[in-house]
Structure 1
């Protein structure tokens, strides 16, 4: 187990920043999707200021994006669910990243037959996997040497994709892929359906069913609705965010699959016994150096939902009725099991996505939409925003600044960081 993070009572020494080093290093670039617009910002390592770099309009709304592991390429899954009757509402855009962080289309967008929900490359950067939600499935493209899309690789029939897939990842070994299936929330009601981790052997072109993990009630007494996962950089462990359960489940990786029994499932909430409606766990990310795992706690306050599509801000903007919008910080023991040490207020509504800079020294959370907070009888309007945190030597978060985003009728649907 790495020791890059000091224990709280043994603070790590702080090095003085070198001006020459800062001048030579390329700044991390933050990419933010607001509808069809992809914004980019440089992140100042000095004070966390976000400096606007570029603003490009893509053909359709951005659902998710993923950087190539070696090339200055960003893959964007575009999915305009309101485009009924349009010929090409679903696409993959291959975006070239300039030295200043600006984006440009590297090739013509590739048309898709269904709405993409997530995409990723394999660790070698030779293939792109795209997951579909409403029409469950996976598509595999071979990537050309310049990072653009090559041929789609035909897949065999008969896969188990489950209900509402939400993420696809390739394990660090490169030989196994996993499709994270949310199932259907509503535990204790007829609407509930358990989700699963659907595992596929992956030989570089062809996927083959390898098993399904979905713990029963004896192991997951509050249900099992996984949404997002990440992997430990050294230990054979996966950390899985359980959406409705607001828990972080830990699974051991063995060979080309997952042990069926979770090692632990601690709560991600500060006050789990006072849980409000529409409280969900979201994204999970491992710190680049290991030793710490972060999860997002999300509550949009739209009790009963609203009539518009899920990416449209309600009009009028509602008063937030209560719930946790925060980033949970888990310190990992030597065996990789997590201990909750902090829940840091996200300083806005519903941090759907967050990301860490490659050096692990900053974290940015994307608070999805505007809201109105009521505190001691006073109402305070808070726009959609990007909240910047400093990551301490022990992995805990200190709020630095808030960068407000005028989303109009859209939301901050995705955000990520690339160097």
Structure 2
């Protein structure tokens, strides 16, 4: 029987570059098509979003005086729950909901902040902790100090990982839910000068893949959720050797069955298709396909695992692709206008 249902997607954007804020869209699950329902421009630069249960959505405000905000998404247009809350760091680029708290990665100040979620309405309280990263990397322009770029909970739920572009490392922390404090458990040093940006786990929970921004590569890591140990064991190219100049990795997702990785490349304006059929430690570049626009800042896999959605920041669109289940190769299926788009999530 054909799938004729509907879902919802939300698009983050840079209002400073003409974005609409947080845009809500209906998803036709049969075709993948998006239909814009409305947008909330009440928070500047909501560049990354995190959906939660109970009709809630959280957003960073990527500004110098960084903030985070909560939205009620039960209606057609997202509704802000209370004012945005300062995170105590500059330019937050990512956030995750962990243990009743929203945790943000603050790129500008190189820190991670923990904000409690109110049980009454899902709104955010003042930051319970701001954990400062330390260190630098060999790139004088981009790695003069720490630049936390992503926070992510591991599959066991025990650990919070923060990926730092400036220090070429990933920190593993434990969150105390009752106090909202983070304890640094360990730090994994990655190859120098790569500029790690985002991390994704293999569905089996035994491996993680770190997408690098300053070099078009993917760092392969083993992950032990019992001990909270991340170990770099290899590296894979995102692009052919002669196409690597002026390309910057941005987002990655894994297939639900663990057979493929898809990574977005800004500058090259493409999606890399990487196969994991042989081994989770031996990614193989299959091909690259055009991203459908310019400067793909983020990519997302739909809940059914059949389509990829790409937020093309500089061409101002969200483009979706049907995925060939046998080869993993995406085929462009449609797009909508989305000025200064920065991310796509589903709820």
Question: Which bin holds the TM-score, normalised by the shorter protein?
Answer: 0.7 to 0.9
1:93 aligns to what? 69
Alignment of 1:266-345 (within 5 A): 266-269=236-239, 271-276=240-245, 278-299=246-267, 324-333=268-277, 335-337=279-281, 338-345=283-290
1:78 aligns to what? 61
Does 2:179 align with 1:196? no
CA offsets per residue over residues 54-84 of structure 1, 9 Å max, x none?
122123222321111x232111111334xxx
CA offsets per residue over residues 141-182 of structure 1, 9 Å max, x none?
232334322464346x77647611111112122221111111
Cα 1:168/1:58, change in 2 over 3 Å = same
What secondary structure does 1:285 align onto?
Answer: strand
1:169 aligns to what? 152
* Residue pair 2:111, 2:147 contacting (<8 A) in 1 also: no
CA offsets per residue over residues 365-386 of structure 1, 9 Å max, x none?
111114xxxxxxxxxxxxx222
Normalized per residue, the structure richer in strand is: 2
Looking at structure 1, the residues matched to 31 and 157 of structure 2 have their Cα atoms a distance apart, in angstroms, of 37
Counterpart of 1:33 (choices 13, 16, 19) is 13
Looking at structure 2, the residues matched to 158 and 120 of structure 1 have their Cα atoms a distance apart, in angstroms, of 17
Structure 2 segments unaligned to the other structure (5+ residues): 137-145
Looking at structure 1, the residues matched to 212 and 59 of structure 2 have their Cα atoms a distance apart, in angstroms, of 25
2:221 aligns to what? 251
Deviation at 1:45, TM superposition (A): 2.9
Instruction: Give the aligned CA root-mean-square deviation in angstroms.
Output: 2.4
CA offsets per residue over residues 290-342 of structure 1, 9 Å max, x none?
3222111111xxxxxxxxxxxxxxxxxxxxxxxx2111122223642322223
1:376 aligns to what? none
* Residue pair 1:292, 1:330 contacting (<8 A) in 2 also: yes
Looking at structure 1, the residues matched to 7 and 174 of structure 2 have their Cα atoms a distance apart, in angstroms, of 37
What secondary structure does 1:27 align onto?
Answer: strand
What secondary structure does 2:274 align onto?
Answer: strand
2:333 aligns to what? 400
Looking at structure 2, the residues matched to 72 and 290 of structure 1 have their Cα atoms a distance apart, in angstroms, of 29
* Residue pair 2:294, 2:314 contacting (<8 A) in 1 also: yes
Cα 1:401/1:90, change in 2 over 3 Å = same
* Residue pair 2:87, 2:127 contacting (<8 A) in 1 also: no
Counterpart of 2:165 (choices 170, 173, 182) is 182
Does 2:188 align with 1:213? yes
Cα 1:365/1:96, change in 2 over 3 Å = same
Which region of structure 1 is more displaced relative to structure 2, 195-204 or 350-359? 195-204
TM-score, normalising length from structure 1? 0.72
* Residue pair 2:307, 2:321 contacting (<8 A) in 1 also: yes
Counterpart of 2:211 (choices 235, 241, 258) is 241
What secondary structure does 2:242 align onto?
Answer: helix
